[in-house]
Structure 1
Amino acid sequence: MKTADIGFYGRVPITRDFLALSDPEQFTPVPDDWIVGVADIVDSTGEIARGRYKTVNMVGAAVISGMINALGGRVFPYVFGGDGAGFAIPKDDADMARDTLAALRSWAETEFGIALRAALVPVSDVRSKGHDLRVARYAPSSGVDYAMFTGGGLAWAEAQMKAGRYEVPPAGSDAQPDLTGLSCRWSNSPARHGQIVSLVIQPTAQATERDFADLAQSVLSASEALERAGHPVPAGGPPIKWPPPGLALDAHVSRAGRNLAVRKAALLVQNLLIWLLFKSGKRLGEFEPGHYKNMVSRNADFRKFDDGLKMTLDCDDETLSRIARTLEDARGRGKIRYGIHSQQEAMMTCFVPAATRDDHVHFVDGASGGYAQAAAAMQG
């Protein structure tokens, strides 16, 4: 993705210190004339119960992939939520965003039978209702950085979308968003320290920004004691197998209206070559398999601020108990709502503009419900 950008987001400072982002002073107000985009899957818990969470993740990530491609690689703030996504764009890009979201809604229904809803909300409307939208940039590596949101504006926009306001209607049934680079060929990463824990923590109206900052700092400090701060993807990258478990899903995503069986066959051959390349570890032109796998792990977004704090952790029982006690105490004081969901594996959905560069993006979630199940279990 292009790093040069003369606009607002290109000037937002980038930090490598995730713990520093618990401080609200690290966030910059999004311009009043910008637009917030939100999308999520209707009845994602039902889709999970039907064993379709990998598909749910892929459709959620498709929102980001579609927007990145529509913007021609220009940097903009976005966040992946498991069963959906949020982003902010300049007002001049509103028509393009509307067309992209409309195509995504139709594509999700046609390709997967999934109901995706979407909305575009002016930031000025967010602020007129007493909320805010502020953003920070966190770089887990030298290759990528991810947006972090605070202020309550993104959550308010999502609530408006679910209430049927600011809707972006679907396009025609043959609409095809550009999802080039979106894939899921990695196998799941098993827990190495007990369990993969999905955490969703949100402040209540009774909590001040300082209240939530202190709580986030406590939770993050506990997770820092875990190996690699609880990173659920091995340092050398996730497992890769042939045939890949997500082959059929990749075929649906990349076929762009072409014959599905032909696309599956082409991907089967392509992934065999990729598997052999990773198995041998041999360099091919500018592509170095070992370096790529290391960057996959380093680039993964296993924790984020998204009008709250979300994390996917490889966590032992003792640390989880410590975090749960901290959260329950804050909930008892009326300061937060939270949800926890445990599973045995983490999964990843990827956006790879070019395999020879380090700016490939990897969205991490729990493999059996993850953030969506944690959100459904929220207490407070």
Structure 2
Amino acid sequence: MSDDTEHAGFYESLPRIASFAALTRDGSYVPLPDGWVIGAADIVGSTELIAEGRYKMVNVIGAAVISSQINADGRAGLPFVFGGDGAVFACGPERAESSRQVLGIMARWAQEEFGVTLRAAQVPVADIRAAGLDVRVARYQAAPGLDYAMFAGGGVTWSEAEMKAGRFAVPLAAPGSVPDLTGLSCRWNNARSRNGVILSLVLQPAPGASLQAYAEVADRIVAVAERLDRGGHPLPPQGSGVRWPPPGLELEAHVSRGKSSLAWRKVQLLVENLIAWVFFKTGLKAGGFDPVHYAKTVSSNADFRKFDDGLKMTLDCDSGSVAEITEVLERADADGTVQFGLFEQDEAMITCFVPSVTQDDHVHLIDGAAGGYARAAAQLKSAAP
């Protein structure tokens, strides 16, 4: 077997872990092979954009970083983590150059399509290890047809910090470059909290803290979440519903128009979404598409909790659980074990990547609808020494 083939098969060969709680343990993770790279991107000034009410746009651009990479590769199995205003992912050396080019295209597209600056970097795992850190990965089986990557080792956080410092930067692609964002959409309604609060949580080990002590805190937070209805899942079991015209029409037109007219793409989407709305409202099946099954799969496939050198969760909480989580985190922060950010809002939002409506591997990225992870992370940064 060639080296490239070995690299291509590495992530697919990892076992799927069914227990989210097991992901607090370091033994669940496997080091990335030598030669791999970390891709990272985030939006400059996302806090200001959120204050202007443009968070759904911020969210969609973050999701577009992921969908552009998956579409360019032409195969599933990309290890990634969605962070609200950006994303990180890993790829082997056989994909490094094409991945770098796609990041440059994404940065150019974000600038030209939305007038925002998307930072993008590609960091060799070798440089991460030379800095005394690592990147280890696990696969969490969120649903029968879908799993998500989880990261540990400190290397992802270090890579993002290096990117924000201007190192390992990916250059902009040529003007007019457009990424392939086929399958990326934002058609679902926001999901209103059923228990009182949609809580966005970002938790990281404090510098110099014992990783064992940090893991114990993460265990306690996960345990509180597990006691909530459906583990704090922010979406109803049958999905959050659709309406016509869809709330994300303008954004989806920008994302899917390629080089065509924005106005014409809106007309096309109005027709497409009307047809979809009829199917979801009536429950009628068409070929291999079953709208009732699809809506349930949206909920089961939702990416509402993750590890990327820390814990991120979007939870539907009651006030008592919010108070308990806050108390645990404040005590751990006071003894120097963790850094954390919490942000409360009324709704969760969904951004989707759907390669096929007849398969069960569609990806649904969840965040708080009023700032979510970005606002929680901003609190974490302000608390950092």
1:7 counterpart SS class: helix
Residues 355-376 of structure 1 show CA distances to partners (whole Å, capped at 9, x for unaligned) of 0000000000000000000001
Distance 1:216 1:80 in 2: 19
Residues 14-65 of structure 1 show CA distances to partners (whole Å, capped at 9, x for unaligned) of 1111011111110000112100110000010011011110000000000000
Q: Which runs of 5+ in 2 are unaligned?
A: 1-5
Q: Provide the residue aligned with 1:85 in structure 2.
A: 87
Distance 1:192 1:355 in 2: 27
Q: Provide the residue aligned with 2:311 in structure 1.
A: 309
Residues 258-298 of structure 1 show CA distances to partners (whole Å, capped at 9, x for unaligned) of 00100000100110010010000011111001000000000
1:222 equivalent in alignment to 2:260: no
In the alignment, residue 237 of structure 1 is paired with which amino acid?
G
Distance 2:198 2:224 in 1: 15
Conserved 8 A contact 2:181-2:256: yes
Alignment map for 1:183-332 (pairs within 5 Å): 183-332=185-334
Residues 152-201 of structure 1 show CA distances to partners (whole Å, capped at 9, x for unaligned) of 10000000000000000111220011100000000100000001000000
Over the aligned positions, Cα root-mean-square deviation in angstroms equals 1.1
1:41 equivalent in alignment to 2:33: no
Residues 125-146 of structure 1 show CA distances to partners (whole Å, capped at 9, x for unaligned) of 0010011100000011111100
Distance 1:372 1:172 in 2: 29
1:208 to partner: Cα distance: 2.2
Distance 1:57 1:183 in 2: 11
Distance 1:339 1:329 in 2: 14
1:92 counterpart SS class: coil
Q: Provide the residue aligned with 2:3 in structure 1.
A: none
Distance 2:234 2:346 in 1: 10
1:333 equivalent in alignment to 2:330: no
1:310 counterpart SS class: strand
2:267 counterpart SS class: helix
Distance 2:101 2:256 in 1: 19
1:135 equivalent in alignment to 2:158: no
Shift of the 235–5 alpha-carbon distance from structure 1 to 2, 3 Å rule, reads farther
1:249 to partner: Cα distance: 0.4
Distance 2:207 2:110 in 1: 34
2:95 counterpart SS class: helix
Distance 1:76 1:184 in 2: 21
Distance 1:92 1:73 in 2: 13
1:310 to partner: Cα distance: 0.2
1:60 equivalent in alignment to 2:53: no
1:205 to partner: Cα distance: 2.2
Shift >3 Å, 4+ stretches? none
Match of 2:345 among 343, 346, 351: 343
Distance 2:74 2:96 in 1: 15
1:6 to partner: Cα distance: 5.4
Q: Provide the residue aligned with 1:120 in structure 2.
A: 122
Distance 2:76 2:352 in 1: 18
Distance 1:261 1:80 in 2: 30
Distance 1:140 1:7 in 2: 21
Q: Provide the residue aligned with 1:97 in structure 2.
A: 99
Distance 1:212 1:138 in 2: 20
Amino-acid identity (%): 53
1:377 equivalent in alignment to 2:379: yes
Distance 2:327 2:96 in 1: 44
Conserved 8 A contact 1:135-1:149: yes
Conserved 8 A contact 2:38-2:89: yes
Aligned residue pairs total 377
1:8 counterpart SS class: helix
Q: TM-score, normalised by structure 1?
A: 0.98
Q: Which has the larger displacement, 8-17 or 188-197?
A: 8-17
Q: Provide the residue aligned with 1:361 in structure 2.
A: 363
Q: Which runs of 5+ in 1 are unaligned?
A: none
Alignment map for 1:147-166 (pairs within 5 Å): 147-166=149-168
Conserved 8 A contact 1:5-1:74: no
2:315 counterpart SS class: strand
